[in-house]
Amino acid sequence: MGDSQVPVLKGVNLIVRRGEFLAIEGRSGSGKSTLLHLLAGLDTPQQGAILVQGEDLADLARRAERAVGGEQPGWLKRVIRACRLIFPFLGDAVGEKLARIRNRHFGFIFQFYHLLPELNVLENTMIASWMCTDGPGLADRKDRARSLLEQVGLSHRLNHRPSQLSGGERQRVAIARALVNDPDVLFADEPTGNLDSETGAQIMGVLESLHARGQTIVMVTHDRSIARRADRSMVMKDGRLQQV
């Protein structure tokens, strides 16, 4: 109740190897999405470590939270956070490092696609690349986004809005978006959960072809048949991870 803490994950120990396609299967509420969010640096674990190429994401996330007044009372926390956000000279180096890792090293596919409704297909695909201040120029990024959309069979839909697409097409845009910065790891949260079985199978085909080209993928799903298509499958039950 209230601020009391409920442990979601218990004793999770997981290693994901480069080029691996890992599926984590579990019922609703088992903690699999929470695990995915922690692995992707979207959430902050209270304990433990998440090592990505030697960098502890868990420690970074905890430090980032403290930097914006994590331990302070409500009003003080807000003031500190506001000052850090508004005045560049106060800086938020840790939070920015964490965001940079999310942007450069990870791609994320959501169950409900989560495309921005005001942007067209090409713009939605490019959005993660717009967050980089270095690297290739905008023209090169646009070429890459076009090429990815071509790979997922949407080169004829570049100027369409998400509302003009089917569920499968939206999820393919989301996959292209997740790949735009050539991430080390692709996280997929129930990528077929909102699709019919035929479209779901098409999406899995896209993921498998990506994996075949060496893409590391971590997917969570409640569907055993989908999980079985991965290299390795694990089951999450009551916050504990078990090998199948």
Binding site for other proteins (CB under 8 A): 37, 40, 42-43, 68, 78, 81-82, 84-88, 92, 95-96, 99-104, 106, 108, 110, 114, 116, 118-119, 123, 127-128, 130-133, 138, 177, 181
Q: Which residues contact 128 (CB under 8 A, 6 or more apart)?
A: 103, 107, 177, 178, 180, 181
Q: How far is 157 from 120, CA to CA, in rounded Å?
A: 9
CB of 66 to other proteins, least distance (A): 14
Cβ proximity to other proteins, 114 vs 240, nearer residue: 114
All residues at 6 or more sequence positions from 17 whose CB lies less than 8 Å from its CB, including other chains: 216
At 169, phi and psi to the nearest 5? -65, -40
Nearer to other proteins, 21 or 108 (CB): 108
Q: Which is nearer to other proteins, 9 or 68 (CB)?
A: 68
Q: Least distance to other proteins from the beta carbon of 125, Å?
A: 11
Six token digits for residue 143:
């070429």
175 — phi, psi (to 5°)?
A: -65, -45
How far is residue 103's CA from residue 202's CA, in Å, rounded to a whole number? 26
Q: Which is nearer to other proteins, 37 or 240 (CB)?
A: 37
**Least gap, CB of 218 to other proteins (angstroms):** 15
* Minimal distance, residue 158 CB to other proteins, in Å: 16
